A and B are shown apart, each in its own frame.
Chain A
Amino acid sequence: MGNTLFDKIWDGHIVASRSGHPDAVYINTHFIHEVTSPQAFDGLRKRGVPVFRPGKTRATADHNVPTLDQHLPIKEALSRKQVEMLTANTAEFGVELYGLGHPYQGIVHVIGPELGITLPGMTIVCGDSHTSTHGAFGAVAFGIGTSEVEQVLATQCILQYKPKRMRITVNGQLKKGVVSKDIILYIISKISAAGGTGYFVEYAGEAIRSLSMEARMTICNMSIEMGARGGLIAPDETTFEYIKGREFAPRGEEWDKSLAFWKTLRTDDDAVFDSELVFDAADIEPQITYGTNPGMGMGVTGNIPALAEIEEKEQLSFSKSLQYMDLQPGTQLLGKKVDYVFIGSCTNSRIEDLRMVAEFVKGKKKSDDVTVWIVPGSKQVEAQAIAEGIDKIFEDAGFQLRQPGCSACLAMNEDKIPAGKYCVATSNRNFEGRQGPNARTFLASPLTAAAAAITGKVTDVRAMI
């Protein structure tokens, strides 16, 4: 029996597998940021242990940074302290930092790929659940807690139980107005926010293969929203083409050898998965969520389920969720007035996302009632957007192009949606309070978000293109 790609990478990184113990897995690349690392560095100090392989960890400041006036000191004292502590810790332990003001600064899951640090066949971890993003390159990438960050800093290894394997195949071609974000929201709505728990997912099929690298990253990014440890896509020519020539990517002879290895990274034809799911791209329409977990989603023209359609033991949670959203069971979302549109986050803040939005809004103006924030994923994305004149298109439309960071995805900085307001967001979580206390989030694709920005309402973008 053959092996899955996930097995090949995982098994190839086991340093020790002692009976009764979880696997000790070697980590090729470790990303850190200001929020989940200070206690880990503190732990090293208490143990008197150095960072074992400082060259294999890269740091950036993203979760807590302002998205306006980044050249000024951070106003909020606690945020400033956390960012300063990252600077001090990385300096003390010899870790490279792309901090505020650095041309490589940005959301950790945006900069890894764009700098050519993220490569096929790697094991990658970060103290952030959306580390699954890097799986788009055929890497085993997953989020970890701070104790595990400390493990990796101290030993370049992590103790981990091997997840089971799931394959999700999406056949066929996407219809007009439907993009990769819709694929992943659709899958999560079908299998629930816990449908992938205990699994590592491989995405396959024609619809996945046809996607660009950035679109693939959007899919893998949200693997955690179905509970999966991570998700990956076997590398192919699209992957190699994307990596070639990037800042830290292999060059010359090293490139040739790497490429030869990467071409072996695929699931064997006779490999067996613990679970197999198959979907058809033609069934997918633009998606939107109505509830307070990412599994509570539907096609944009659909109706919120009626209470009777919900299993009895889940009705309490369902009702609590709709009460928070101030929505009625059985009703449509289409036409619902929105107050904010947030286009950003590690899910949808890359240059292709910004291009997609710019192409759609060119010559249009936002609705007077909507505030629109566009937050690029990195300094490089921001620079590229300006070079292409995308900033002008946004300005003309009345959209605010801000500076890179996680921003209103988790509202750790000042970018909060006010209580009771509705926001169409391209981010990954619609949890209660995620975008600010009592803020209400509708998750959608950049296209659907842009359409809402123009009309001021939840809109079927297909009618506008």
Chain B
Amino acid sequence: MDKKFANLVSSVVPLPIENIDTDQIIPARFLKATTREGFGENLFRDWRFDENNEPKADFVLNNETYKGRILVAGKNFGCGSSREHAAWAIGDFGFKVVVSSFFADIFKNNALNNFILPVQVSEDFLAKIFRAVEKVPTTAIEVNLEEQFIEIKATGEKEHFDINPYKKTCLLNGYDDIDYLLSLRNEIEAYETTRPFNF
């Protein structure tokens, strides 16, 4: 896993579908691995391949025209199951950023915990990206975490995005939550002495 997040300029893979759930991102039958690696192979498995495991020509990941490290998808991306395998599959396939107008909560946490940046943009800006890519499939997008903006390079159209300052620091420096939580050991033990029951 590539931990530190650097400024990224890349073409994008557009997926203008809403409510993409984690069962689509990685179907349950591929959750049997016991390591974090290799899930990219089955990313969007049933959209990418037919029942004979042949690539479906009409699916965007099978289209040579669209490449890049940024996935752009319709609203409510990552809804459904909490499986972190969805974030692992997206990262393993090579994406560093997912752009949508709305993310499901658990997916957003899982992505951040795997140094994949979920960039939430307005409906309007999302539509602009889809239009730009429809016109020019190699359209380059810049995602600048340091300064928190996303820009369509060809047109200069730009939008600010929000990210929690703590998570931003984690991504820029490659820190994870467990490092921080382990540093709270004394506070955790002190808290436990204040609770008479297991609730």
Residues of A within 8 A of B79 (CB): 193-194, 197, 227, 293
Residues of B within 8 A of A194 (CB): 19, 75-76, 79, 102, 104
Query: A29-B198, A143-B82 are known contacts. Are A151 and B102 too (CB-CB below 8 A)?
Result: no
Q: B177 to A145, Cβ gap below 8 A?
A: no
Residue in B closest to A314 when the chains form the complex, CB atoms: B18
Residues of A within 8 A of B35 (CB): 38-39, 42
Min C-beta distance of B196 to chain A, whole Å: 7
Please tell me if B64 contacts chain A, counting CB pairs below 8 Å: no
Please tell me if A106 contacts chain B, counting CB pairs below 8 Å: no
Query: A85-B34, A431-B21 are known contacts. Are A154 and B81 too (CB-CB below 8 A)?
Result: no
Near B by CB (< 8 A), chain A positions 47-94 give: 47, 49, 52, 56, 63-64, 78-79, 81-82, 85
Query: A120-B199, A157-B181 are known contacts. Are A148 and B23 too (CB-CB below 8 A)?
Result: no
Residues of B within 8 A of A139 (CB): 199
**How many angstroms between the C-alpha atoms of A137 and B159 in the bound complex?**
43
Contact of B19 among A15, A52, A293 (CB under 8 A): A293
Min C-beta distance of A241 to chain B, whole Å: 18
**How many angstroms between the C-alpha atoms of A81 and B33 in the bound complex?**
9
Q: A122 to B198, Cβ gap below 8 A?
A: yes
Residues of A within 8 A of B75 (CB): 194
Near A by CB (< 8 A), chain B positions 159-195 give: 164-166, 176-178, 180-182, 184-185, 187-188, 191-192, 195
Residue in B closest to A119 when the chains form the complex, CB atoms: B199
Q: A159 to B180, Cβ gap below 8 A?
A: yes
Please tell me if B94 contacts chain A, counting CB pairs below 8 Å: no
Q: B23 to A434, Cβ gap below 8 A?
A: yes
**How many angstroms between the C-alpha atoms of A412 and B32 in the bound complex?**
8
**How many angstroms between the C-alpha atoms of A95 and B71 in the bound complex?**
39
Residues of B within 8 A of A42 (CB): 34-35
Residue in B closest to A229 when the chains form the complex, CB atoms: B105
In the complex, identify which listed stretch (B6-14, B108-116, B131-139) lies at the interface while the others stay far away: B108-116
Residues of A within 8 A of B33 (CB): 78
Residues of B within 8 A of A143 (CB): 82, 106
Interface string of B1-42 (1 = CB under 8 A from A): 000000000000000111101011001110111111000000
Q: B23 to A36, Cβ gap below 8 A?
A: no
Min C-beta distance of A360 to chain B, whole Å: 30
Residues of A within 8 A of B114 (CB): 147
Near B by CB (< 8 A), chain A positions 218-248 give: 224, 227, 229
Min C-beta distance of A123 to chain B, whole Å: 8
Please tell me if B83 contacts chain A, counting CB pairs below 8 Å: yes
Q: B185 to A155, Cβ gap below 8 A?
A: yes
Residues of B within 8 A of A229 (CB): 105-106
Residues of A within 8 A of B109 (CB): 144-145, 148, 160
Query: A122-B198, A163-B105 are known contacts. Are A21 and B180 too (CB-CB below 8 A)?
Result: yes
Contact of A122 among B51, B106, B192, B199 (CB under 8 A): B199
Residue in A closest to B36 when the chains form the complex, CB atoms: A39
Count B-side interface residues using an 8 Å CB cutoff: 59
Min C-beta distance of B24 to chain A, whole Å: 6
Residues of A within 8 A of B80 (CB): 129, 224, 429, 431
Please tell me if A24 contacts chain B, counting CB pairs below 8 Å: yes
Q: A26 to B198, Cβ gap below 8 A?
A: no
Query: A22-B164, A154-B178 are known contacts. Are A432 and B23 too (CB-CB below 8 A)?
Result: yes
Query: A412-B32, A433-B23 are known contacts. Are A317 and B18 too (CB-CB below 8 A)?
Result: yes
Q: B23 to A431, Cβ gap below 8 A?
A: yes
Residue in A closest to B20 when the chains form the complex, CB atoms: A317
Residues of B within 8 A of A22 (CB): 164, 166
Please tell me if B151 contacts chain A, counting CB pairs below 8 Å: no
Near B by CB (< 8 A), chain A positions 295-328 give: 295, 313-314, 316-317, 320
**How many angstroms between the C-alpha atoms of A409 and B6 in the bound complex?**
40
Query: A39-B36, A320-B17, A431-B23 are known contacts. Are A15 and B187 too (CB-CB below 8 A)?
Result: yes
In the complex, identify which listed stretch (A254-262, A364-372, A390-398, A452-460) lies at the interface while the others stay far away: A254-262
Residues of B within 8 A of A63 (CB): 28, 31
Please tell me if B87 contacts chain A, counting CB pairs below 8 Å: yes
Please tell me if A419 contacts chain B, counting CB pairs below 8 Å: yes
Residues of A within 8 A of B142 (CB): none
Please tell me if B74 contacts chain A, counting CB pairs below 8 Å: yes
Near B by CB (< 8 A), chain A positions 420-437 give: 429, 431-434, 437
Please tell me if A386 contacts chain B, counting CB pairs below 8 Å: no
Residues of B within 8 A of A411 (CB): 28-29
Q: B105 to A254, Cβ gap below 8 A?
A: no
**How many angstroms between the C-alpha atoms of A22 and B16 in the bound complex?**
32
Residues of chain A whose beta carbon lies under 8 Å from any beta carbon of chain B: 15-16, 20-22, 24, 26, 28-29, 35-36, 38-39, 42-43, 47, 49, 52, 56, 63-64, 78-79, 81-82, 85, 119-122, 127-129, 139, 143-148, 150-151, 154-161, 163, 193-194, 197-198, 224, 227, 229, 250, 254, 257-258, 261, 293, 295, 313-314, 316-317, 320, 410-412, 419, 429, 431-434, 437-438
15 additional contacts (CB under 8 A) given A144-B109, A314-B18: A15-B188, A35-B31, A127-B84, A128-B81, A128-B82, A139-B199, A145-B106, A154-B178, A159-B181, A227-B105, A313-B123, A320-B17, A419-B51, A431-B21, A434-B23
CB-defined A-B contacts under 8 Å, sample of 20: A35-B32, A36-B82, A39-B35, A64-B32, A85-B34, A121-B199, A128-B82, A143-B82, A145-B87, A147-B178, A151-B177, A155-B181, A155-B188, A161-B164, A194-B19, A194-B79, A295-B19, A411-B29, A412-B29, A433-B46
The 10 closest A-B pairs by CB, nearest first: A145-B84, A78-B32, A147-B113, A145-B110, A38-B34, A143-B82, A129-B82, A194-B76, A121-B199, A146-B84
